[in-house]
Amino acid sequence: MTRKEALDSIKVNVENENLVKHMLATEAIMRALARCLGEDEEEWGLTGLLHDIDMELTEGNMVTHSTLGADLVRELGASEAMAHAILCHNEAHGIPLETKLDKALFCADPLTGLIIAATLVRPDKKLAGLEAKSVKKRFKEKSFAAGVDRQQIAQCSEIGIELGEFIELGLKAMQRIAEELGL
Ligand SMILES: [Fe+2]
Protein backbone atom coordinates (compact mmCIF):
# COMPACT_ATOMS: atom_id res chain seq x y z
CA MET A 1 0.00 0.00 0.00
CA THR A 2 1.26 3.45 -0.87
CA ARG A 3 0.64 6.58 1.16
CA LYS A 4 -1.46 7.90 -1.72
CA GLU A 5 -3.70 4.81 -1.57
CA ALA A 6 -4.07 5.29 2.18
CA LEU A 7 -5.01 8.95 1.73
CA ASP A 8 -7.48 8.09 -1.04
CA SER A 9 -9.20 5.64 1.25
CA ILE A 10 -9.32 8.24 4.02
CA LYS A 11 -10.96 10.66 1.59
CA VAL A 12 -13.67 8.11 0.89
CA ASN A 13 -14.28 7.16 4.51
CA VAL A 14 -13.66 10.30 6.58
CA GLU A 15 -15.41 13.65 6.15
CA ASN A 16 -14.45 15.41 9.35
CA GLU A 17 -11.39 17.55 8.68
CA ASN A 18 -10.29 17.55 12.29
CA LEU A 19 -10.29 13.78 12.31
CA VAL A 20 -8.14 13.75 9.17
CA LYS A 21 -5.75 16.20 10.85
CA HIS A 22 -5.61 13.99 13.93
CA MET A 23 -4.64 11.06 11.71
CA LEU A 24 -1.98 13.12 9.90
CA ALA A 25 -0.57 14.24 13.26
CA THR A 26 -0.50 10.65 14.49
CA GLU A 27 1.31 9.65 11.29
CA ALA A 28 3.92 12.36 11.82
CA ILE A 29 4.61 11.19 15.38
CA MET A 30 4.72 7.54 14.33
CA ARG A 31 7.25 8.32 11.58
CA ALA A 32 9.42 10.22 14.05
CA LEU A 33 9.19 7.34 16.52
CA ALA A 34 10.14 4.82 13.84
CA ARG A 35 13.18 6.88 12.86
CA CYS A 36 14.19 7.24 16.49
CA LEU A 37 13.84 3.52 17.19
CA GLY A 38 15.22 2.25 13.89
CA GLU A 39 11.88 0.76 12.85
CA ASP A 40 10.12 0.71 9.47
CA GLU A 41 9.08 4.32 8.97
CA GLU A 42 6.60 3.60 6.20
CA GLU A 43 4.84 0.85 8.12
CA TRP A 44 4.65 2.88 11.33
CA GLY A 45 3.61 6.06 9.51
CA LEU A 46 0.81 4.41 7.58
CA THR A 47 -0.44 2.73 10.74
CA GLY A 48 -0.73 6.14 12.37
CA LEU A 49 -2.30 7.65 9.28
CA LEU A 50 -4.99 4.99 8.99
CA HIS A 51 -5.68 4.18 12.64
CA ASP A 52 -9.05 5.95 12.93
CA ILE A 53 -10.26 5.35 9.38
CA ASP A 54 -13.44 3.68 10.62
CA MET A 55 -14.37 6.29 13.22
CA GLU A 56 -17.20 7.76 11.13
CA LEU A 57 -18.29 4.43 9.67
CA THR A 58 -18.70 3.06 13.19
CA GLU A 59 -20.14 6.37 14.41
CA GLY A 60 -17.65 6.32 17.25
CA ASN A 61 -19.12 3.11 18.65
CA MET A 62 -16.28 1.70 20.75
CA VAL A 63 -17.61 -1.84 20.37
CA THR A 64 -17.03 -1.83 16.62
CA HIS A 65 -14.39 0.92 16.31
CA SER A 66 -11.04 -0.42 15.13
CA THR A 67 -12.39 -3.90 14.35
CA LEU A 68 -13.80 -2.54 11.13
CA GLY A 69 -10.71 -0.36 10.75
CA ALA A 70 -8.41 -3.37 10.98
CA ASP A 71 -10.46 -5.16 8.30
CA LEU A 72 -10.42 -2.08 6.07
CA VAL A 73 -6.65 -1.67 6.24
CA ARG A 74 -6.13 -5.39 5.56
CA GLU A 75 -8.19 -4.93 2.38
CA LEU A 76 -5.93 -2.00 1.47
CA GLY A 77 -2.95 -4.32 1.77
CA ALA A 78 -1.70 -3.47 5.24
CA SER A 79 0.48 -6.01 7.02
CA GLU A 80 -1.00 -8.09 9.83
CA ALA A 81 1.22 -6.14 12.24
CA MET A 82 -0.40 -2.88 11.14
CA ALA A 83 -3.91 -4.30 11.40
CA HIS A 84 -3.15 -5.61 14.89
CA ALA A 85 -1.86 -2.26 16.10
CA ILE A 86 -5.00 -0.58 14.78
CA LEU A 87 -7.25 -3.22 16.31
CA CYS A 88 -5.78 -3.02 19.81
CA HIS A 89 -5.38 0.77 19.98
CA ASN A 90 -9.04 0.75 21.05
CA GLU A 91 -8.80 -0.41 24.65
CA ALA A 92 -12.47 -1.38 24.67
CA HIS A 93 -11.57 -4.66 22.99
CA GLY A 94 -9.24 -5.60 25.82
CA ILE A 95 -6.67 -6.96 23.38
CA PRO A 96 -3.18 -6.74 24.89
CA LEU A 97 -0.58 -4.54 23.23
CA GLU A 98 2.10 -6.93 22.08
CA THR A 99 4.51 -5.40 19.59
CA LYS A 100 6.45 -2.15 19.64
CA LEU A 101 4.18 -0.95 16.85
CA ASP A 102 1.07 -1.65 18.98
CA LYS A 103 2.58 0.25 21.90
CA ALA A 104 3.80 3.14 19.77
CA LEU A 105 0.39 3.77 18.23
CA PHE A 106 -1.28 3.53 21.62
CA CYS A 107 0.84 6.30 23.17
CA ALA A 108 1.15 8.50 20.06
CA ASP A 109 -2.63 8.75 19.55
CA PRO A 110 -3.44 10.86 22.66
CA LEU A 111 -0.25 12.94 22.43
CA THR A 112 -1.65 14.63 19.30
CA GLY A 113 -4.65 15.81 21.32
CA LEU A 114 -2.52 17.29 24.09
CA ILE A 115 -0.31 19.15 21.62
CA ILE A 116 -3.28 20.48 19.64
CA ALA A 117 -4.99 21.66 22.84
CA ALA A 118 -1.76 23.36 23.99
CA THR A 119 -1.57 25.08 20.60
CA LEU A 120 -5.14 26.30 20.60
CA VAL A 121 -4.79 28.16 23.92
CA ARG A 122 -1.91 30.21 22.54
CA PRO A 123 -2.81 33.73 21.37
CA ASP A 124 -1.59 32.98 17.83
CA LYS A 125 -2.94 29.39 17.87
CA LYS A 126 0.20 28.34 16.01
CA LEU A 127 2.38 25.29 16.54
CA ALA A 128 5.53 27.13 15.50
CA GLY A 129 6.07 29.01 18.76
CA LEU A 130 4.92 26.26 21.09
CA GLU A 131 7.71 24.96 23.30
CA ALA A 132 8.07 21.45 24.62
CA LYS A 133 8.37 22.74 28.17
CA SER A 134 4.89 24.24 28.00
CA VAL A 135 3.44 20.99 26.64
CA LYS A 136 5.14 19.20 29.55
CA LYS A 137 3.56 21.70 31.96
CA ARG A 138 0.15 21.11 30.36
CA PHE A 139 0.70 17.39 30.74
CA LYS A 140 0.89 17.82 34.51
CA GLU A 141 -2.18 20.09 34.68
CA LYS A 142 -4.91 17.52 35.04
CA SER A 143 -7.75 19.93 34.38
CA PHE A 144 -6.22 21.02 31.07
CA ALA A 145 -7.64 19.02 28.14
CA ALA A 146 -8.97 16.60 30.74
CA GLY A 147 -10.08 14.11 28.09
CA VAL A 148 -6.48 13.42 27.12
CA ASP A 149 -5.35 10.24 28.85
CA ARG A 150 -1.98 11.08 30.42
CA GLN A 151 -1.32 7.51 31.49
CA GLN A 152 -1.72 6.38 27.91
CA ILE A 153 0.84 8.95 26.73
CA ALA A 154 3.21 7.96 29.53
CA GLN A 155 3.23 4.40 28.21
CA CYS A 156 5.94 5.60 25.82
CA SER A 157 8.23 4.16 28.49
CA GLU A 158 7.12 0.73 27.22
CA ILE A 159 8.97 1.40 23.95
CA GLY A 160 12.00 2.76 25.74
CA ILE A 161 11.29 6.46 25.36
CA GLU A 162 11.22 8.79 28.31
CA LEU A 163 8.15 11.05 28.58
CA GLY A 164 10.00 14.35 28.14
CA GLU A 165 11.77 13.04 25.07
CA PHE A 166 8.49 11.72 23.68
CA ILE A 167 6.78 15.08 24.06
CA GLU A 168 9.71 16.82 22.34
CA LEU A 169 9.73 14.32 19.49
CA GLY A 170 5.94 14.56 19.05
CA LEU A 171 5.92 18.33 19.08
CA LYS A 172 8.73 18.58 16.52
CA ALA A 173 7.01 16.03 14.29
CA MET A 174 3.75 17.98 14.34
CA GLN A 175 5.54 21.31 13.82
CA ARG A 176 7.01 19.92 10.60
CA ILE A 177 3.50 19.44 9.20
CA ALA A 178 1.96 22.53 10.82
CA GLU A 179 0.71 23.82 7.49
CA GLU A 180 -1.18 20.61 6.72
CA LEU A 181 -2.63 20.73 10.20
CA GLY A 182 -3.69 24.36 9.72
CA LEU A 183 -1.92 25.25 12.98
FE1 LIG B 1 -6.88 8.38 17.21
User: How much is the average pLDDT of 53-61?
Assistant: 94
For the cut 90, the answer to whether the pLDDT of residue 159 exceeds it is yes
How far away, in angstroms, is 51 Cα from ligand 1 center?
6
User: How much is the average pLDDT of 159-176?
Assistant: 98
Of 92, 137, 97, give the one whose Cα is nearest residue 114. Answer: 137
DSSP reduced 3-state for 101: helix
The predicted pLDDT at position 40 comes to 98
How far away, in angstroms, is 152 Cα from ligand 1 center?
12
How far away, in angstroms, is 104 Cα from ligand 1 center?
12
pLDDT tens sequence across 90-149: 999 999 999 999 999 999 999 999 999 999 999 999 999 999 999 999 999 999 999 999
Gap between the Cα atoms of 44 and 30, Å rounded: 6
The predicted pLDDT at position 60 comes to 85
Q: Is the dihedral of CA 3, 110, 128, 117 positive or negative?
A: positive
How far away, in angstroms, is 20 Cα from ligand 1 center?
10
Gap between the Cα atoms of 89 and 152, Å rounded: 10
